[in-house]
Structure 1
Amino acid sequence: MTLIEESVKLILQHQASTGAYLASPAFVHYQYAWLRDGTFTAYAMNRIGKHESARKFYQWCNDVIRKHETKARTAISAVKNGLDKNDAGRDRFLHTRYTADGEEVAGEWGSFQLDGYGTWLWGLAEHVRMSGEHDLIHELKPSIELTIDYVVACWQLPNFDCWEEGGDRIHPVTLGAIYAGIKVMEPYLPERAFELAQQGETIRQFIREHGTANGRLIKSVGDPSVDASLLWLALPYGIVDVNDPLMIRTVQAIEEELRAGHGVHRYPADTYYGGGQWLLLSAWLGWYYVKTGRREEAEKIAAWIVSQRQASGLPEQVQEHLLSPAHYEMWVERAGHPAVPLLWSHAMFLVLAAELGIPY
């Protein structure tokens, strides 16, 4: 079985009957569903024509939003009534991960995170574009509009980044997700198109003014370090073009500080499981290389990802070049061995394979 075939099989196998994708079935801390990586998994399924799987996921997103509608509206009202920006009174906001049935997950990790809410809107529009299921927008419109209202109200509040860290800061990648979600809905909500266009431009300008330093994009407002997730601002969020000087210099920093061989680390100070190389980020860099005419490098990354395949699938990260080796055993003792398989790793391999034209 090729890795493409195995990836599809694993993703379908671990999609709950509700439509949720469980992030990593064998890793206790990831036996939940995230809007963000679930959306990228759905996008991967769309890329290979498995539209039914993706549709079920977006219907699950709709169910989650509807289930927590009262909480979302209460949060929107609190912000509009002058909630202190430093009072992310964290549980007043929607969570970032849910059970397969759409229930909130209690735990030590930060729950106030906005990137998934922008990302699911972007992914839904991509699903409609690739599948032709335009009626789905109408079917899910109440959840779409509530999500837009929620992210528009909250985007200037500090919240956790895509790694569930930095909850006291504002992150360009999170803003990019919100921007993308708002922009893709403009043609589907003509009565709000002008408002959404204005809001999107405000966010784009904010990133340009506060989310850059030294000619490149930065990890967080006030933190000029580089983070490999900044690739997402070009692909797929589209806040900058792949050939924008800002992105070119950002990628150069990723290559210089975060790439080791064909593997890509998250950010320089990462200590989670020793700060290994994340396969999904390596695939993302490969995606960028395809888009910028560096196909041979992308093919090498794809081959490297295949070489990291384990008996149970692709891991979240590998330990070939740890940034902080002393932290690896600490995490193993605390939470067990790193997640294998990680559905998001398989999903991004599928996206890279699709970009390279490898047939399924």
Structure 2
Amino acid sequence: MSTSRGAPGSVLAVDAGNSKTDVAVIGADGRVLGTGRGGGFQPPLVGVQVAVDTLADAVTTALEQAGADCVDHVSACLANADLPVEEEELAQAVQARGWGRSTEVRNDTFAILRAGVDEPRGVAVVCGAGINCVGMLPDGRTARFPAIGKISGDWGGGSGLAEEALWFAARAEDGRGAPTQLARTLPAHFGLASMYALIEALHLGRIPAVRQHEVAPLVFTVSAAGDPVARSLVHRLADEVVAMASVALGRLGLLTEEAPVLLGGGVLAARHPELDDRIAVLLAQRAPKAVVRVVAAPPVLGAALLGLDHVAAPAQAHRTLRAHYA
């Protein structure tokens, strides 16, 4: 079956993260008619138009598989669409490509949330390179944070853990800070003998800065061995997750009723026991009726479900789509 040009109820779903993009064309009945994969989506680095260019190959592949020139509606959940004004700018740029009759752009955290719930109701916290949280209700109300770094009050994710671990390890080695096994584990991971050597290698580019993300898993390993400094970082991340989730639940009036809190992104999906346990304990105190789940479904499913919501697809279409990604 193929989709005719802009067939009523057809959806182009886009989930674009910092490292990769997934695209799917969905028929009005919920069947996946075509898919595509592309590179990372980083408008802050390359600009909006160039970033949207990076989506084009994957979109073209998916449309060709579906036998379509365009769809009824484009549902794009995009990394770095952190503010409503950015979502609007990106929506205009995507709409100008002519991929669909209408376009809606959301931050990619909404895809995680929608993928994990049967209706658009609940809160999602994502810890990948950074940290973000969104919430939504079926009536369209949302709760969100700017999530653009320290200037908007954010801390966490793999990059936050890595930066803090390097900071504590450097100070432990030179005597400014408390002792921690991080001072030995971090340089050893990169085949170096000291934090000084690691700092020099990172500063001079002998170790690419992108490899700092390898530090985050080491924090959990060292924490599990009983290191108090590493453990304080794990606990701090749990505190941040719970703070975001409980505030978002409160904004949506969901603190007093059972509501899902979905966890996603590489750090949370790794299911570190110490992090999971502390999140559960703290959330039980601040939002005792919250139901915590880790989202395993691909985010493009969430983008597609949001698209089906937009075109008022029947419940069976949603079930058909979920079955495809099960």
Give your verdict on TM over 0.5.
no
Higher Rg of the two aligned structures: 2
Q: TM-score range by the shorter chain?
A: under 0.3
Relative to its length, the structure with more strand (as a share) is 2
TM-score computed with the length of structure 1 as normaliser: 0.25
Pick the structure with more helix per residue: 1
After TM superposition, the score normalised by the length of structure 2 is 0.26
